[in-house]
Amino acid sequence: MDTEHIDTFLERYLLLLHEYASLREQLSSLQTGIYQNIARANFAAERGMRFGQDYYDERMQASRRLAITTDDDQGAPSFAIKGEDSETEVQVTPEPTVEDSETESKHVDDAADGSKKQEAEEVKTAPKKRRDPLKWFGLFTPTPLRQAQAQSVQAIEEIIPKLVSVNAQMAQVEIEVRRARKKRAKAEAAAAKQEQVQESGGGREIVA
Amino acid sequence: MSASQADYKDRQFLAVIGDEDSVTGLLLAGIGHVTNPPDSQKNFLVVDSKTENAAIEAAFDSFTTKRKDIGIVLINQHIAEKIRHRIDTYTAAFPTVLEIPSKEHPYDPEKDSVLRRVRRLFGE
């Protein structure tokens, strides 16, 4: 009974391991592409220009965020990435717009409603534009850098969340296997003891 | 269950510890985040040949222990090697740590902590 249980766990574990290995392969190939494209962009760039940390926006805000959920049946957490269109984005952007519109309304009390609305709209769209990390490196970004971004988005949205979710599931199955093995070892020890007792009991009978 | 839920629901950022190209590549996807001043905490660390192991360890500590808003820590495998003792003794469920390849150091399954766990499970 316990051995069957352990076998089922191990079978599941091997399937997860297979998935892990194939995701690892996909991540490696995507990252190789990212590095090659960044190298290409650097090679073609003006002298002294390097697409790196010197150009990072010091006030950058994440446009792709994590959402962790747990499945009650298995207990292993599941990871997902929420992109630009998700609800969290909508919740995050209003902060600066409220402040800005307040200060603006103090200065321009008599302004027409239409212009106010326009300003508000401009403020709303501005952070979104600034959020694209490609803009850190100037208005005209080279094609290889765009390709690197597309590969990076794929890695972040599709591969990495799956990889960590599979990892969490594997850790969960490892716990189950160890628990089942302990149980089996205990049962075996108890059976062996019982056998010993029976044998020694039988031996006495023979002697008697 | 509720305690663990409180532990993960605010973890909305990925953190990166890596060489410049790794960090740049991942930040291009829009995961980079700097918290509001005066703290202005970054969720990434660019490691070069001059970066001391203590600084890497401090960033790892900050991302895994001090900050409660990070759900995944991505770290280049060759940098993880420098603080291997910390990585191997780290057992918390959140944030989860994932070792990733870098430009000059391709993924090595021998060093992968997940595959080491697999070997331990079958070697017992």
Contact between chains at B28 and A174 (C-beta distance less than 8 A): no
Looking at residues B14-37, what average pLDDT do you find?
A: 96
Looking at residues A99-123, what average pLDDT do you find?
A: 50
Question: CA-to-CA distance for A132 and A59, rounded, in angstroms?
Answer: 12
Does the pTM surpass 0.90? The reply is no
A133 contacts in chain B (CB < 8 Å)? 27-30, 32
A73 contacts: CB under 8 Å, gap ≥ 6: none
Q: Strands B70-76, B96-100: parallel, antiparallel or unpaired by DSSP?
A: parallel
How distant, in Å, are the alpha carbons of A131, A173, B85 from that of B78?
30, 28, 13
A56 min Cα distance to partner chain B (Å):
8
Q: Nearest by CB to A79, from B22, B71, B112: name it.
A: B71
Residue of A135 and A107 predicted with greater confidence: A135
pLDDT at A38: 96
Residue A37, Cβ density class (10 Å: 0-12 exposed, 13-18 middle, ≥19 buried): buried
Residue B87, Cβ density class (10 Å: 0-12 exposed, 13-18 middle, ≥19 buried): buried
How does residue A73 score in pLDDT terms, banded at 50, 70 and 90?
low
B77 contacts: CB under 8 Å, gap ≥ 6: B99, B100, B101, B102, B105, B107, B108, B111, B112
- Measure CA of the first residue to CA of the last residue in chain A; give whole Å: 38
pLDDT tens readout for residues B69-108: 999 999 999 999 999 999 989 989 899 999 999 999 999 9
When the pLDDT of each residue in chain A is averaged and rounded to a whole number, the result is 80
